[in-house]
Structure 1
Amino acid sequence: MLVRLALMTALLFGLLSVTRHDGASAVIRINLLGYRPGSPKVAIWGSLTGQTVATFDLVDEQTNQVIQQLSAGRAFGAYGAFKETYRLDFSAFQRPGRYYLRTADGARSPGFRIGEDVYAGAADFCLRYMRQQRSGYNPFLKDSCHTHDGYTMYGPMPDSTHIDASGGWHDASDYLQYVTTSANATYHLLAAARDFPTAFGDQVQTNGLPGANGQPDVLDEARWGLDWLLKMHPTDTWLFNQLGDDRDHSAMRIPRLDSMYGKGAERPVYFATGQPQGLFKYKNRATGTASTAGKVSSAFALGYQLLRNHKARYVNQAYVDKLRQRAQSAYRLGLAKPGNCQTAPGRAPYFYEEDNYTDDMELATVELLNATEPTGDQANLLRNTALAFAHREPVTPWMLNDTARHYQWYPFVNIGHAELAKQLPAHTRKTVTDFYKSGIELVWQRARKNAFYRGVPFTWCSNNLTTSFATQCFWYRQLTHDDQFMALEQANFDWLFGCNPWGTSFVYGLPANADTPSDPHSAFSHLKNYPIDGGLVDGPVRGSIYGNLIGITLHEPDEYASFQSSVAVYHDDYGDYSTNEPTMDGTASLIYLLAAKQAEKRTTIGKAHSSKKVNRPVDKPVAKPVTDSKSTYFKGAKIRGDTTARRFSLVFTGDEFADGGSTIARTLRKHHVRASFFLTGRFLRNPAFSPLIKRLRQDGHYIGPHSDQHLLYCDWVKRDSLLVSRAQFKADLQANYEVLHHYGQAKSKSNLFLPPYEWYNDSIATWTNAEGIQLVNYTPGTLSHADYTIPTDRNYRSSATILQSIRTYEQQKPAGLNGFILLMHLGTAPARTDKLYSHLDEFLTDFQRKGYQFIRIDEL
């Protein structure tokens, strides 16, 4: 992605001046991909002459009938080439269909669609570009390349020692390969597979050629990245940072013709020394290895978590064990050499100038915690270490500085904050999510001043920053259920797909039949006219940056000339490597964001976005839960059924662990018992648990919600003190139901809700009731719910103690276990080796002999 060496091209800043174009004096920019019914929907009207607008029409594209005439709102003033701008807000309109916007001055937007499925398939589409970037074997070309890489430099071995470094992805339109970008891309793909598995299909094999192989294609692509990273960290103490250098830029060619380094087909492999490097005139400013080592460790640790229980035929235990081992060894290297591991320049002064590493080590610490599953003091140590790293970089620095050198603070979003927040209790979590909020607010202070809500700086690879910032907004909203920045989040997403001054999507071929890059800076398209489907181009840069770059020459007349300015420049021209070159790592981060957009289900818009009334189907009245006189209730929750009937319910909850799932399912089937399972959204989204969930549904067990993110609703001591708002509660519960729906579990069939931590108060019961759902909880009196405790816990209870408490209660109470709701857990931390579910066969045999009938909780 670095520039091609060429003679200095004379650049006249007059090229950047605004020229009146032939055609309308005003334009309407819109998200060409479309909008979800419940999302903010805002287009931008911009005038090149300074006129104003009062209203705009929303028009049915098929009939050309005006659906609504809406106010254009307030003027936002000049921005870039525009002398006047307005935000045309039609968020309140939610009816699916195809539409366009127009104003009285003759401006008309491109057609767009409103629908729940407008983003379906987009993440999968962008995977095409990742496959096309493969080195080693390239499935697009059906040819091999770079199979002789490479010879070592700066390592503990003699220079020019050959190692196997083939594989991985080419970084951009050049064929350099960087561990820092590859590890970040791999992590994003793995996270997308973990968080949004339903967003991806199974159309290709492991080698990238057509044919299903039983797992989502995003995992196939992530595996390609993991395989190469293992080659770049082949031993506990060896870590390489880079393959090739800017000698690559001497000419454009198809990958298999690469031989630019004076040693046949081999390329140099740079060892990560933590010291400045550069074989020619220029050197980087490296100070350590932690920035690279942390990213590598995170990718390996997450790969281990996803693949350890995966049934794909090419994943074996030795490979999975190696991922775990290398995650730990890379982490140790990061601790041993704290500092920034920059890429090595060649003959030009351009390189990835990464100046931070604590964000990488924060994420690596959290993922190591997730992968190794320590308990007690060790788990607390890792959490505290991650939190200490988080405090050292609470806000990603580009947000503070509104500028950055090339890849100076990378990745452009602190992923560690999101993953750490999931590990922390509510009161500590807020500290970390507030770090996200502070960064968002800084960008918002800049963005709120212009109609595009543009607060992300126009540095090189601005689209990567935009994607990362939209993802940070998404994570903040998901973690806190605070949607005050939702319009800002949507504006950044819209920017990528056409709601920008140039009116173009920045993704090649997405959407089809729309304005997208057609002449990118790519050898594939320039030399062979190959489509580079799904590639995200670098994006606009400041006029001053563009004016000082080496070797840029536009090859065609600039179709966007009227919209260029000193604020920002973008050219759909092969000659502009600064704005129109696609990047592998930017595309990978966009794949995550697109998967999130596809998977997210929203049926209403936030209050901040619109108060206008709209015509929509009348919702059916919510059916209120019905209580019965034979059951027992506490603070609004049903805690016991009919005590006159000799029957009770076994209830299992699942959030983090499912090690007992197979044993429990098998034992219940053996005894012809149907139980009840309350599962969090996190549990339901875990691809490793999917086979178990499907089996439980097939066996006829009750499946119900247990909250999406396992929130603590109220204080442990002051029970009446709420820790969540009603909006947060509702959004979290709704998210839990949405993922249940993916498994075919309708809300009407799962209208009982067991609260997270089995802890609630009157308010939670009231809110649950208002949703047409009945709150339930376990029957007190036994210790069954303590089966999660571990030996180092003060409240630890062994399985023998728990079972004895159940038998004692049954023997001593007049009604025995009649109507009982007996709660256990689907799995526990590895530190608890005495698993209660191992005694389930014995337990069921015992109580069936006593004449008890086990029934689902909805039958109790």
Structure 2
Amino acid sequence: MIAKVVRWALASSGLLVGPLQPARAQPPPAAIHLNQVGFYPAAPKVAIVPGAAASPFYLLAPGSTKPVFTGELGAARYDSLARQTVRAADFSACRARGTFVVSVPGVGVSYSFQIAPRVHAAVARAVLKGFYYQRASTALPPAYAGAWSRPAGHPDTQVLVHPSAATAHRPAGTVLASPRGWYDAGDYNKYVVNSGSTLGTLLALYEDFPAYCAQLTTTIPESTNAVPDVLDEALWNLRWLLTMQDPADGGVYHKLTNASFDGMVMPAACHTQRYVVQKSTAATLDFAAVLAQASRVFRPFGRALPGLADSCLHASTQAWGWARQHPASYYRQNELNKQFQPAISTGAYGDEDVRDEWAWAATELYVTTKDEQYWQASDLLAAGPLPVASWSQVRPLAYYTLLRLGPTLTAAGRRALPQVQQKVRALADGLRAGYATRACGTAMGHAATDYGWGSNAEAANQGIALLQAYRLNGEQPYLLAALTNLDYLLGRNATGYCFVTGSGHHSPQHPHHRPSEADGVPAP
């Protein structure tokens, strides 16, 4: 169960997470940084205390002066990236269950947290519900969205083919319908490459933990149907993706976008013309990969979703065919703007190294169809060390699929499994190396490169890599290292913020997220 909930809470991939609770006044930052949600009784439990001298610390019930646990702060450690010295309060030996605080004399008292089984269950539901709040082309009624309800915006039923995407059968100005999908993390456009990798992560969650996902409900309009909520949410984006493929040739438009970003207003206030732009190899291969995966995942739901699995596989093979004919159709926005009007200034998400996209698409098609032509085209093992997954580096998603479905592979795939396992284990070994001696004691933060744009997705994807290594043979150190990144996301970091909005006691306000800034609700 721990691995399942950690996987859920780590599967954030860049999208803002939905609120768990209504607006409330935020307390000032606490001087003790820890997971503000809580800990499993048998799991490690660590807080960090910046700037503290050597001292005892105490675990107390809120309002009590009787310690449940007493310990000594650890040795001082310098965090060169945060430029602060910290000490750790390790209370892993405490197995008591309930609500507690950590108290350090002369420093202060932490936020309250719980020690309990299933302590992250609400966070897991919030992560999934977050995708519902990102839905485009639909109203979010109070029954499902609470204080964050809003009218529909961006119906996307009158989208124009941009001159960069024009063909003889779909000339510039052709009107298309491309509704649904998820808004990007901060703006109202819909991007295939990052949306596709996010969707692939959600489908992988279901493939890894189908029983857990079957009981995970989030109060969305589809919650009463015969499909698990995680797959219903995936469908909202999947059905949009299907509209982004040109049925005449199988190519996939790189994104659906305004010419420039909408202002910080609600979706219903936006009426700017929207476009589909040039087809790209990266978008088409990401599409091919996730549609092949979706065909596999949704096939058991044929009664509820007749024909969907076959439609997904057909779309995937058509996309693969287009990519084979256009292996270097890169989306270069600045160059396109010199040739076509209107100029597009929204997120480019350009990617000119598509070797990983080829590997992911070929792998998903091979695993779904068992056709070895795709395996032969994957070139999966030719690359060097396996990197952490991201929207622009999807090779790990191919490896995880092979590990997950290894027993179902043909002989060619099974022969490669030892190398696949070795590369995933090597990635995980690198992530967990030395984490226990770092200032915050987390896998996240081994280098400054961990902190790029959307760095919480980096922490989450590191955690997923560690969990995949744990699933190989149940080696506990990988699971414990993954838990440290969950602790990081929930407050054990240099800032002291719980990065899951609406969870914990001190989470970000005013994120780069248009609805959060425009809806008049204090909490994002």
Give the structure 1 partner of residue 306 of structure 2. Answer: 316
Question: Structure 2 length as normaliser, TM-score?
Answer: 0.79
Superimposed CA distance per residue, residues 703-761 of structure 1 (whole angstroms, 9 cap, x where no aligned partner): xxxxxxxxxxxxxxxxxxxxxxxxxxxxxxxxxxxxxxxxxxxxxxxxxxxxxxxxxxx
Give the structure 2 partner of residue 333 of structure 1. Answer: 322
Any conservation in 2 of the 1:298–1:364 contact (CA below 8 Å)? yes
Question: For residues 78 and 424 of structure 1, do their structure 2 counterparts lie closer, same or farther at Cα, with a shift above 3 Å needed?
Answer: closer
Give the structure 1 partner of residue 398 of structure 2. Answer: 416
Any conservation in 1 of the 2:54–2:75 contact (CA below 8 Å)? no
Give the structure 2 partner of residue 432 of structure 1. Answer: 420
How far has the Cα of 1:222 moved from its partner?
0.7
- The root-mean-square deviation of aligned C-alpha atoms, in Å, is 3.2
Matching of residues 631-642 of structure 1 within 5 Å: none
Superimposed CA distance per residue, residues 378-416 of structure 1 (whole angstroms, 9 cap, x where no aligned partner): 44x544544x32432532279xxxxxxxx78345x7211
Question: For residues 477 and 356 of structure 1, do their structure 2 counterparts lie closer, same or farther at Cα, with a shift above 3 Å needed?
Answer: farther
Question: For residues 195 and 81 of structure 1, do their structure 2 counterparts lie closer, same or farther at Cα, with a shift above 3 Å needed?
Answer: closer
CA distance in 2: counterparts of 1:382 and 1:448, whole angstroms: 41
- SS of 1:321 mapped into structure 2: helix
How far has the Cα of 1:431 moved from its partner?
1.9
CA distance in 1: counterparts of 2:506 and 2:161, whole angstroms: 44
CA distance in 1: counterparts of 2:228 and 2:404, whole angstroms: 25
Give the structure 2 partner of residue 212 of structure 1. Answer: 224
Question: For residues 123 and 257 of structure 1, do their structure 2 counterparts lie closer, same or farther at Cα, with a shift above 3 Å needed?
Answer: same
CA distance in 2: counterparts of 1:389 and 1:336, whole angstroms: 20
User: Alignment partner for residue 45 of structure 2, among 41, 55, 58?
Assistant: 41
CA distance in 2: counterparts of 1:194 and 1:349, whole angstroms: 34
- SS of 2:32 mapped into structure 1: strand
Superimposed CA distance per residue, residues 548-591 of structure 1 (whole angstroms, 9 cap, x where no aligned partner): xxxxxxxxxxxxxxxxxxxxxxxxxxxxxxxxxxxxxxxxxxxx
For the pair 1:222 / 2:222, whether they are aligned, the reply is no
Any conservation in 1 of the 2:136–2:152 contact (CA below 8 Å)? no
Give the structure 1 partner of residue 488 of structure 2. Answer: 495
Give the structure 2 partner of residue 357 of structure 1. Answer: 354
CA distance in 2: counterparts of 1:44 and 1:59, whole angstroms: 17
Question: For residues 31 and 164 of structure 1, do their structure 2 counterparts lie closer, same or farther at Cα, with a shift above 3 Å needed?
Answer: same
How far has the Cα of 1:148 moved from its partner?
3.2
How far has the Cα of 1:221 moved from its partner?
0.9
Question: For residues 65 and 355 of structure 1, do their structure 2 counterparts lie closer, same or farther at Cα, with a shift above 3 Å needed?
Answer: farther
Give the structure 2 partner of residue 394 of structure 1. Answer: 385
Superimposed CA distance per residue, residues 75-110 of structure 1 (whole angstroms, 9 cap, x where no aligned partner): 222445554212322223333222222223333221
Any conservation in 2 of the 1:343–1:352 contact (CA below 8 Å)? no
How far has the Cα of 1:339 moved from its partner?
4.9
How far has the Cα of 1:418 moved from its partner?
1.3
How far has the Cα of 1:32 moved from its partner?
1.0
Question: For residues 430 and 532 of structure 1, do their structure 2 counterparts lie closer, same or farther at Cα, with a shift above 3 Å needed?
Answer: farther
CA distance in 2: counterparts of 1:347 and 1:329, whole angstroms: 27
How far has the Cα of 1:331 moved from its partner?
2.5
Higher relative contact order (CA 8 A, sep 6+): 2
- SS of 2:293 mapped into structure 1: helix
For the pair 1:141 / 2:137, whether they are aligned, the reply is no
CA distance in 2: counterparts of 1:347 and 1:144, whole angstroms: 21
User: Alignment partner for residue 160 of structure 1, among 156, 170, 173?
Assistant: 173
- SS of 2:497 mapped into structure 1: coil
Give the structure 1 partner of residue 195 of structure 2. Answer: 182
Of 52-61 and 230-239, deviating more is 52-61
Question: For residues 177 and 214 of structure 1, do their structure 2 counterparts lie closer, same or farther at Cα, with a shift above 3 Å needed?
Answer: same
Give the counterpart letter for 1:31 in structure 2. Answer: N
Give the structure 2 partner of residue 150 of structure 1. Answer: 159
Give the counterpart letter for 1:151 in structure 2. Answer: L
Any conservation in 1 of the 2:196–2:286 contact (CA below 8 Å)? yes
- SS of 1:240 mapped into structure 2: coil
For the pair 1:520 / 2:511, whether they are aligned, the reply is yes
How far has the Cα of 1:271 moved from its partner?
2.6
Any conservation in 2 of the 1:37–1:116 contact (CA below 8 Å)? yes
Any conservation in 2 of the 1:129–1:532 contact (CA below 8 Å)? no
CA distance in 2: counterparts of 1:391 and 1:71, whole angstroms: 50
- SS of 1:469 mapped into structure 2: helix
Question: For residues 238 and 359 of structure 1, do their structure 2 counterparts lie closer, same or farther at Cα, with a shift above 3 Å needed?
Answer: closer
CA distance in 2: counterparts of 1:189 and 1:531, whole angstroms: 29
How far has the Cα of 1:136 moved from its partner?
1.8
Give the structure 1 partner of residue 103 of structure 2. Answer: 102
Matching of residues 366-765 of structure 1 within 5 Å: 366-372=363-369, 374=370, 378-379=371-372, 382-383=374-375, 385-386=377-378, 388-396=379-387, 409-411=392-394, 414-424=396-406, 428-444=416-432, 447=435, 450-452=438-440, 453=442, 454-455=445-446, 457-511=450-504, 514-530=505-521
How far has the Cα of 1:54 moved from its partner?
4.3
Q: Percent identity of the aligned residues? A: 22
How far has the Cα of 1:130 moved from its partner?
1.5
How far has the Cα of 1:449 moved from its partner?
5.8
CA distance in 2: counterparts of 1:188 and 1:305, whole angstroms: 14
CA distance in 1: counterparts of 2:80 and 2:287, whole angstroms: 41
Any conservation in 2 of the 1:46–1:82 contact (CA below 8 Å)? no
Any conservation in 1 of the 2:128–2:218 contact (CA below 8 Å)? no
Give the counterpart letter for 2:236 in structure 1. Answer: W
CA distance in 2: counterparts of 1:83 and 1:203, whole angstroms: 39
Gaps of 5+ in 2: 1-13, 15-27, 141-148, 335-342, 408-413
Of 28-37 and 359-368, deviating more is 359-368
CA distance in 1: counterparts of 2:326 and 2:207, whole angstroms: 30
Give the structure 2 partner of residue 642 of structure 1. Answer: none
Any conservation in 2 of the 1:340–1:354 contact (CA below 8 Å)? no
Any conservation in 1 of the 2:259–2:346 contact (CA below 8 Å)? no
Question: For residues 348 and 123 of structure 1, do their structure 2 counterparts lie closer, same or farther at Cα, with a shift above 3 Å needed?
Answer: same
For the pair 1:77 / 2:78, whether they are aligned, the reply is yes
Any conservation in 1 of the 2:260–2:346 contact (CA below 8 Å)? no
Question: For residues 185 and 422 of structure 1, do their structure 2 counterparts lie closer, same or farther at Cα, with a shift above 3 Å needed?
Answer: closer
CA distance in 2: counterparts of 1:526 and 1:107, whole angstroms: 33
User: Alignment partner for residue 294 of structure 2, among 285, 303, 323?
Assistant: 303
CA distance in 2: counterparts of 1:77 and 1:257, whole angstroms: 48
Of 65-74 and 29-38, deviating more is 65-74
Question: For residues 323 and 88 of structure 1, do their structure 2 counterparts lie closer, same or farther at Cα, with a shift above 3 Å needed?
Answer: same
Structure possessing the higher radius of gyration over alpha carbons = 1
- SS of 1:117 mapped into structure 2: coil
CA distance in 1: counterparts of 2:522 and 2:225, whole angstroms: 25
How far has the Cα of 1:240 moved from its partner?
1.0
Give the counterpart letter for 1:175 in structure 2. Answer: Y
CA distance in 2: counterparts of 1:322 and 1:30, whole angstroms: 47
How far has the Cα of 1:255 moved from its partner?
1.4
- SS of 1:437 mapped into structure 2: helix
CA distance in 2: counterparts of 1:465 and 1:515, whole angstroms: 21
Question: Structure 1 length as normaliser, TM-score?
Answer: 0.50
Any conservation in 1 of the 2:388–2:396 contact (CA below 8 Å)? no
- SS of 1:484 mapped into structure 2: helix
Give the structure 2 partner of residue 270 of structure 1. Answer: 277
Give the structure 2 partner of residue 728 of structure 1. Answer: none
- SS of 2:321 mapped into structure 1: helix
Matching of residues 793-832 of structure 1 within 5 Å: none
Any conservation in 1 of the 2:332–2:350 contact (CA below 8 Å)? yes
Superimposed CA distance per residue, residues 525-545 of structure 1 (whole angstroms, 9 cap, x where no aligned partner): 322224777xxxxxxxxxxxx
CA distance in 1: counterparts of 2:72 and 2:209, whole angstroms: 37
Superimposed CA distance per residue, residues 275-303 of structure 1 (whole angstroms, 9 cap, x where no aligned partner): xxxxxxxxxxxxxx0x3223212221222
Any conservation in 2 of the 1:32–1:497 contact (CA below 8 Å)? yes
Any conservation in 2 of the 1:301–1:324 contact (CA below 8 Å)? yes
Question: For residues 52 and 391 of structure 1, do their structure 2 counterparts lie closer, same or farther at Cα, with a shift above 3 Å needed?
Answer: farther
Superimposed CA distance per residue, residues 231-278 of structure 1 (whole angstroms, 9 cap, x where no aligned partner): 0114242311111146124x2222123233xxxxx3110131x4xxxx
Question: For residues 341 and 107 of structure 1, do their structure 2 counterparts lie closer, same or farther at Cα, with a shift above 3 Å needed?
Answer: farther
Give the structure 1 partner of residue 7 of structure 2. Answer: none
CA distance in 2: counterparts of 1:509 and 1:203, whole angstroms: 15
